[in-house]
Structure 1
Amino acid sequence: MEILQEILLGLCRLFLHPLTYIAILVTYFIGLARVKRERKHFRIRVFDFIYELRFLFWPGLALGLLLSIITITVGVVVPIGMIVLIGVLTFILSGPWTFRWLTPSSIIGLAVIVSLFLPKEAGNNTFTRWMREAGETNLSSLAILLALLVLAEGYLIWRYGSRATSPEIFKSKRGLPVGSHISQRLWLVPLFLLIPSEGFSAPFSWWPLLNINGQEFYFFFVPFSIGFFQRMKAMHPKQSVEFTGKRVLGLGIVTAVLAIPASFFPVFTVFIVLVAIIGREWISISQRLEDARLPFFFTQRKNGSIVLGVLPKSPADAMGIKVGEVIIRVNGEDIAGEQDFYQALQKNRALCKLEVLDLNNEIRLVQRALYDGEHHELGILFVEDHETSVG
């Protein structure tokens, strides 16, 4: 009964951690920056400015509760000093110029490296005590924590990173307008950790699996921020982001396997950290190099117009038009640009008939009655020479 009470108290402690509220503010500003960018390119926002907040808690909270079964069973012990160090590093990397490094590999990895150089002697004040605690953190616990968070990062990118990406238009080296998509997310993944302090002792002889030397502890549902940023110019956003997610999942599996010997040889954690940092950076760099090498995906075409974006709750959204599809015929007329699309649309304002080349290179027919008050150009974003390109 005592352990259940401690778990409930640990759950409530989530709201005592400053990072919970910092993550909300960062996500809010991410949404504002996205809306400003979309209005600059299209003179209209695609999604409302609080859209990113919908992804902040739900998927990460569910995943964190699932992974907490492992952290509680194994007994991942992290002192308050290390929690503070991880929080400081997270805050520093949450800025707009460092956001792409807001990953478990960077945050936990840097925390481990910094802790190796912290003084082991404590003074009389809270700050020096935290420094000592961070420097004496069980490296085996950090290895397990790193592996779980990298796995969580890979899953979140693969499963949620490609949802509602933001379109933009820029000029190519040849001066032609091309489109791209940006995925920028912040997920909060809270995990139950054991915090050494006055609390309660282990109620079972076999638990926790990691040796805690009989010390007392309490539970803390600690929030961890996982950021993701990726720009896609040469691949469909869903394909590109999911590929990155699978790569990060692979890195998570590697770190999880390496964390097993680290349970017996804590110093092995330093090697795991280097693998995680180098591996995650290689994934990011290789994605950018590959994206720069391949031809642009969202470009103007001679036959048809590629869909760069679809406004939510618009006629196009109701018709099932997807990003990356090509509209080749409108009301029986071939089109080769937004102007052709608009002119063909005027032929029948009561009923719109489209022939669409989908992502499987198959043509499908869609039609829908149009009503007064609906977007007069269906709510489709095209790649065009002028700033306003809503069709």
Structure 2
Amino acid sequence: MMTTNLLWAILLYFLQPVFIIGLIYAYFNHKQRVKYSREHFRVNFNRTNFEIKDYLMKGLLPGLILSMVSIFLGIPLTLEWYLIYQATTIVLLLLGGSRFIHPLFTFSISSILLYMSDRFEVGLNLNKLKPLLNEKLFNLDFELETISPLLNNILIFMLLILLLTIFMMKKQEENKVFPMLSDSKRGKKVAKYPNKILWVLPMAIIVPGNIIEPFAKWWPLFNIGSERYALVLLPVLVGLHYTVSSQLLRIAREKIQKDFINLFLVGGIGVIFAYFYPAVSIWLTGVLLVLGIFVMYRHRRREKMANIQYGPADIGLRVIAVRPDSPAERLNLSIGDLILTINDIDMESRAEFNEVLAYNRSYIKLRIQRTDGEIVIAETPLYDDDYNNLGLLLLDE
């Protein structure tokens, strides 16, 4: 019986709408990248389906950590809030992709909607879904005795996920960011990099037992004080979408991280204050939502004010993509580098590059200018299975 219950709990996790729609979005994001690569670069440059793999796998360890913290602290949430969260996340994902799918936004908006529904006594009207749902759902009482402690619990989860996101951004791999081409004001092709981050975080949360028990009497319950609770595994989507073209990818990411750290500190102080004065929870939620939007707006302002980093140079060929597990990666090439010479021959066009490479398919020596101006020499043997030249995309005049 215990094994059956566990299998049902796992199945319910994968069947939740927010998980399914997030997976569909990751799949179409993968297909869009492959289609763009073939149309504009005449090759499926990165053959891995990292979008789907990251979606399914990247949140597992953070989810485990967050679940352990949730269980250890005994922080309860309500099913009503999570229903609103699912609806909010799905709407935002369909309207704007992963741009505002981070819990910084979805949790905040869901909490505000819950607060408004409680304030103006707007109930969940599920009568139209009655033929599709369990009859017992309509006998449940979703009324909240006090909403402020709940909002503070949600703020704690939101800040913990924000902290995990800050650490995860440090490990973001540049070779998973694929370029798109656009025209500069001077009519030249330049590369820009949409960072579409989306992964699902399996989060074990505590919900009141009276919500679960009518549906599944077999679901294990436990006591916290005099109240009975159940442990439920819920999918939480963590996403961001920001484009980089006028800053170095690493610098842009570090600046967003710094802004998120400052936001986390502000939120942490606010949560401590809200613990003693619960009524400020809703105001803190609104402040963090506004500050989160401001962080993304600030990034866009920095992009507009900076010079384009990934355009053609007066000398050499600009590297705009590096394929994982390729000779280019062995050469330690990075996005934004300039290839000045190949086998001691000056490079001025991709045609010259391909011609020199075709002449010697067993060994290559590059003279490279890094994004910080440093000149380095890199060399490597080439093998028969090294496809797509060196495994890089180049931008010239």
Query: Per-residue deviation at 1:68?
Result: 2.2
Q: Which residue is equivalent to 2:241?
A: 229
Whole-Å separation in 1 of the counterparts to 2:343 and 2:175: 30
Query: Per-residue deviation at 1:86?
Result: 0.5
Whole-Å separation in 1 of the counterparts to 2:44 and 2:143: 49
Could you say if the C-alpha distance between residues 262 and 12 of structure 1 is closer, same or farther in structure 2, counting changes exceeding 3 Å?
farther
Q: AA paired with 1:328?
A: L
The SS at the match of 2:368 is strand
Whole-Å separation in 2 of the counterparts to 1:368 and 1:147: 45
Note the aligned Cα RMSD (angstroms).
3.1
The SS at the match of 2:387 is coil
Whole-Å separation in 2 of the counterparts to 1:90 and 1:127: 24
Whole-Å separation in 2 of the counterparts to 1:134 and 1:16: 30
Could you say if the C-alpha distance between residues 265 and 120 of structure 1 is closer, same or farther in structure 2, counting changes exceeding 3 Å?
farther
Preserved contact between residue 175 and residue 324 of structure 2 (Cα < 8 Å):
no
Whole-Å separation in 2 of the counterparts to 1:181 and 1:121: 43
Aligned ranges 1:89-128 → 2 under 5 Å: 89-95=88-94, 97-118=96-117, 119=121, 126=137
The SS at the match of 1:82 is helix
Could you say if the C-alpha distance between residues 235 and 134 of structure 1 is closer, same or farther in structure 2, counting changes exceeding 3 Å?
farther
Q: Which has the higher helix share?
A: 2
Aligned ranges 1:45-194 → 2 under 5 Å: 45-48=44-47, 50-95=49-94, 97-118=96-117, 119=121, 126=137, 129=140, 132=143, 136=147, 138-160=150-172, 162=174, 164-194=176-206
Structure 1 range deviating more: 82-91 or 303-312: 303-312
Residue by residue over 1:136-193, the C-alpha shift from the partner in whole angstroms, topping out at 9 and shown as x without a partner, is 5822222222222222333333333755111121101221111122211211122221
Whole-Å separation in 1 of the counterparts to 2:390 and 2:124: 66
Q: Which residue is equivalent to 1:200?
A: 221
Could you say if the C-alpha distance between residues 26 and 12 of structure 1 is closer, same or farther in structure 2, counting changes exceeding 3 Å?
same
Could you say if the C-alpha distance between residues 130 and 326 of structure 1 is closer, same or farther in structure 2, counting changes exceeding 3 Å?
farther
User: Does the alignment pair 1:32 with 2:15?
Assistant: no
- Which ranges of structure 1 fall in alignment gaps of 5 or more residues? 206-213, 386-391
Whole-Å separation in 1 of the counterparts to 2:180 and 2:97: 21
Aligned ranges 1:240-389 → 2 under 5 Å: 240-372=252-384, 374-375=386-387, 377-384=389-396
Query: Per-residue deviation at 1:276?
Result: 1.3
Could you say if the C-alpha distance between residues 161 and 218 of structure 1 is closer, same or farther in structure 2, counting changes exceeding 3 Å?
farther
Could you say if the C-alpha distance between residues 239 and 162 of structure 1 is closer, same or farther in structure 2, counting changes exceeding 3 Å?
farther
Structure 1 range deviating more: 262-271 or 367-376: 367-376
Whole-Å separation in 2 of the counterparts to 1:352 and 1:121: 69
Query: Per-residue deviation at 1:91?
Result: 0.8
Whole-Å separation in 1 of the counterparts to 2:125 and 2:25: 34
Could you say if the C-alpha distance between residues 7 and 262 of structure 1 is closer, same or farther in structure 2, counting changes exceeding 3 Å?
farther
Could you say if the C-alpha distance between residues 272 and 159 of structure 1 is closer, same or farther in structure 2, counting changes exceeding 3 Å?
farther
Preserved contact between residue 105 and residue 273 of structure 1 (Cα < 8 Å):
no
Could you say if the C-alpha distance between residues 297 and 127 of structure 1 is closer, same or farther in structure 2, counting changes exceeding 3 Å?
farther
Preserved contact between residue 98 and residue 196 of structure 2 (Cα < 8 Å):
no
Percent of paired sites with the same residue: 22
Preserved contact between residue 117 and residue 135 of structure 1 (Cα < 8 Å):
no
Whole-Å separation in 1 of the counterparts to 2:108 and 2:76: 17
Whole-Å separation in 1 of the counterparts to 2:145 and 2:23: 26
Whole-Å separation in 2 of the counterparts to 1:367 and 1:217: 62
Q: AA paired with 1:307?
A: V
Query: Per-residue deviation at 1:323?
Result: 1.6
Could you say if the C-alpha distance between residues 135 and 202 of structure 1 is closer, same or farther in structure 2, counting changes exceeding 3 Å?
closer
Structure 1 range deviating more: 70-79 or 374-383: 374-383
Structure 1 range deviating more: 83-92 or 260-269: 260-269
Structure 1 range deviating more: 179-188 or 236-245: 236-245
Preserved contact between residue 162 and residue 241 of structure 1 (Cα < 8 Å):
no
Preserved contact between residue 339 and residue 368 of structure 2 (Cα < 8 Å):
yes
Whole-Å separation in 2 of the counterparts to 1:128 and 1:166: 50
Query: Per-residue deviation at 1:8?
Result: 9.9
**TM superposition score normalised by structure 1:** 0.84
Q: AA paired with 2:233?
A: F
The SS at the match of 2:75 is coil
Query: Per-residue deviation at 1:82?
Result: 1.1
Query: Per-residue deviation at 1:310?
Result: 2.0
